[in-house]
């Protein structure tokens, strides 16, 4: 009897050892369920819902995906506070100029999910420049936006201008033809909304583009700004000439209506802006006869545009959300699942994600492309090269699709401070309080001092 008891105990011991050691009936590492929370301010919830529903069908580990839309005015503040408390989202949107100031709050993509070659093959160059750092991928965009030249077709016809300008020299000639100034020196029709800081939407982006087009080195590896070079001064002088009453291209001043309003009201012939304001203008003035063209260039052989867009990234630390009754999920697993979803959402479907991970099943609809589905609903310019190809001939998005292929931005330690100081620099020149050299040197000094504090 004692021998039988010893035998039974031995069997239980061996069986228990196998379970603990992971041999035999090991629980699959994929046997878990979790939720993902995404923060941003994307508009088309219908398109997002379709993407979320499809992904839950093909990834058995994801129980739910929630999307929280925040106000653009408070987004950054709410996000930073939430991340600091550990109660933020798994996935959130960051501006393409935020990586230097946000990198310590993020976790990069695992190489087996998103590697550099795949990323560069998928997205336009500005995304690689902005979000590949230290050999890692830190965010991926659904859409990229760049500047376009909005122009009033009726005003162009009256002035005898048959096509929008391709070079800045052509642009200067057109501004002269399109601007009307009365005997009192008041502008009655503006050729272009350009030259000032505070009544022009995204004025510092436009100045930044001129600087990049002229070959200005904007900052160094330590993020100290360096745009007070000869090229930078020339760009600032070029920009501000349109607000100088003695200039032959005078067409704008600080008293004019805000640029978007002035263009919508038919009081200015041209303005520069991003694609999202097409609908703004149409809602303000449904009958306005306008179009959008590519940005003029100093050199048509080496064209440059300016990018301003958002991309999806993953929070470094957060307790993973799991459905009631399910075991806790480690942060490593949460990060992996978050990046798997970003890859699915943004990159071209090619089967490699499913091949690399057993939790990803076959796609329910092989023709379903998450990024294409979203962009079609939201009418946004694409970040992916293959989708840009189809947008090149779109009457609304064509100029922005082309622009995305040549768009660039520059590294900034504190984008908000940079914008404020650059705006002040423009305004000082407009008011005659400082010449171009003095204003640009003062701006560079002020930005660099703020970084070194």
Domain contains 431: yes
The answer on 331 and 285 residing in a single domain is no
Mean pLDDT of the chain: 91
Q: Give the model's confidence band at 350: pLDDT under 50 very low, under 70 low, under 90 confident, else very high.
A: confident
Could you give the C-alpha distances from 394 to 122, 150, 178, 452, in angstroms and in order?
21, 15, 27, 46
* pLDDT higher at 219 or 368: 219
The answer on 285 and 161 residing in a single domain is yes
Edge-to-edge strand list for the sheet holding 148-152: 270-273, 148-152, 290-293
Q: How many CB atoms lie within 10 A of CB 354?
A: 17
pLDDT score of 360: 60
pTM value is 0.90
pLDDT score of 368: 87
What's the CATH code of the domain at 274?
3.40.190.10
| Across 8-17, 282-291, 444-453, least confident range | 8-17
Domain contains 63: yes
Q: Give residue-wise pLDDT tens across range 137-149.
A: 999 999 999 999 9
8 Å CB contact between 400 and 146: yes
**Helical ranges in 61-115 per DSSP H:** 75-85, 99-102
8 Å CB contact between 178 and 249: no
Domain encompassing residue 226: 148-306+414-452
Q: Give the model's confidence band at 15: pLDDT under 50 very low, under 70 low, under 90 confident, else very high.
A: very low
Conformational region of residue 86, where left means phi above 0, alpha means psi within -120 to 50, and beta covers everything else = left
Q: What proportion of the chain, given as a percentage, has pLDDT over 70?
A: 89
pLDDT score of 87: 86
Last residue of a domain, one of 340, 370, 387: 387
**Is the pLDDT assigned to residue 356 strictly greater than 70?**
no
pLDDT score of 86: 84
pLDDT score of 9: 41
* pLDDT higher at 290 or 23: 290
Helix (H, G, I), strand (E, B) or coil at 243: helix
Domain contains 395: no
Q: Give residue-wise pLDDT tens across range 294-314.
A: 999 999 899 999 999 999 999
Write the DSSP symbol of residue 253. Answer: -
d(CA 26, CA 297): 63
**Is the pLDDT assigned to residue 353 strictly greater than 60?**
no
pLDDT score of 48: 87
Domain contains 209: yes
Q: Which two tokens stand for residue 6?
A: 């010893």
The answer on 261 and 244 residing in a single domain is yes
Last residue of a domain, one of 368, 387, 406: 387
Q: Give the model's confidence band at 81: pLDDT under 50 very low, under 70 low, under 90 confident, else very high.
A: very high
Domain contains 21: no
Q: Give residue-wise pLDDT tens across range 41-64.
A: 887 777 788 899 999 999 999 999
8 Å CB contact between 79 and 39: yes
Structural domain tally of the chain?
2
Domain contains 6: no
The answer on 182 and 278 residing in a single domain is yes
Q: Which two tokens stand for residue 206?
A: 């436009």
The answer on 288 and 420 residing in a single domain is yes
**Is the pLDDT assigned to residue 11 strictly greater than 50?**
no
Domain contains 86: yes
pLDDT score of 357: 57
Q: Give the model's confidence band at 361: pLDDT under 50 very low, under 70 low, under 90 confident, else very high.
A: low
* pLDDT higher at 430 or 11: 430
The answer on 157 and 128 residing in a single domain is no
Q: Give the model's confidence band at 5: pLDDT under 50 very low, under 70 low, under 90 confident, else very high.
A: very low
**What average pLDDT does this structure show over 59-87?**
93
The answer on 235 and 383 residing in a single domain is no
* pLDDT higher at 48 or 65: 65
The answer on 128 and 169 residing in a single domain is no
Q: Give residue-wise pLDDT tens across range 367-411.
A: 689 999 999 988 999 999 999 999 999 999 999 999 999 999 999
Q: Give the model's confidence band at 365: pLDDT under 50 very low, under 70 low, under 90 confident, else very high.
A: low
């Amino acid at each position: 009897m004692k021998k039988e008891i010893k035998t039974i105990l031995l069997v239980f011991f061996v069986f228990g050892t196998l379970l603990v050691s992971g041999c035999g009936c090991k629980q699959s590492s994929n046997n878990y369920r979790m939720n993902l929370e995404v923060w941003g301010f994307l508009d088309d919830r219908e398109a997002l819902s379709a993407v979320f529903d499809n992904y839950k069908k093909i990834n058995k580990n994801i129980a739910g995906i929630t999307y929280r839309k925040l106000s653009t005015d408070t987004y950054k503040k709410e996000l930073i506070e939430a991340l600091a408390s550990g109660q933020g989202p798994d996935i959130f949107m960051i501006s393409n100029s935020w990586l230097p100031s946000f990198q310590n709050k993020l976790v990069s993509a695992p190489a087996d999910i998103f590697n550099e070659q795949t990323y560069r093959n998928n997205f336009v160059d500005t995304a690689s420049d902005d979000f590949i750092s230290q050999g890692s991928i830190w965010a991926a965009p659904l859409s990229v936006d760049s500047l376009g030249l909005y122009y009033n077709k009726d005003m162009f016809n009256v002035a005898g201008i048959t096509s929008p300008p391709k070079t800045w020299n052509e642009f200067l000639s057109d501004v002269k033809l399109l601007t009307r100034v009365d005997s009192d020196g008041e502008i009655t029709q503006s050729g272009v909304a350009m030259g000032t800081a505070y009544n022009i939407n995204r004025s510092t982006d436009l100045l930044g583009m001129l600087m990049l087009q002229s070959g200005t080195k904007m900052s160094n590896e330590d993020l100290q700004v360096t745009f007070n070079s000869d090229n930078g001064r020339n760009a600032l002088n070029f920009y501000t000439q349109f607000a100088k009453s003695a200039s032959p291209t005078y067409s704008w001043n600080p008293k004019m209506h805000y640029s978007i309003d002035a263009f919508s009201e038919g009081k200015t012939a041209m303005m520069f802006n991003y694609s999202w304001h097409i609908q703004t203008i149409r809602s303000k003035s449904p009958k306005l006869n306008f179009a959008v063209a590519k940005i003029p260039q100093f050199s048509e052989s080496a064209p440059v545009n300016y990018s301003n867009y958002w991309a999806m990234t993953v929070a470094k630390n957060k307790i993973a959300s799991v459905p009631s009754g399910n075991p806790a999920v480690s942060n490593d697993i949460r990060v992996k699942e978050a990046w798997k979803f970003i890859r699915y959402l943004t990159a071209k479907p090619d089967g490699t994600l499913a091949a690399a991970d057993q939790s990803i099943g076959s796609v329910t609809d092989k023709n379903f492309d998450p990024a294409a589905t979203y962009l079609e609903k939201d009418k946004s310019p694409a970040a992916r090269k293959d989708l840009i190809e189809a947008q090149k001939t779109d009457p609304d998005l064509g100029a922005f699709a082309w622009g995305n292929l040549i768009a660039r931005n520059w590294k900034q330690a504190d984008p908000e401070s940079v914008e404020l100081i650059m705006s002040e620099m423009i305004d000082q020149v407009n008011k005659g309080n400082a010449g171009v050299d003095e204003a640009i040197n003062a701006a560079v000094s002020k930005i660099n001092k703020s970084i070194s504090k």
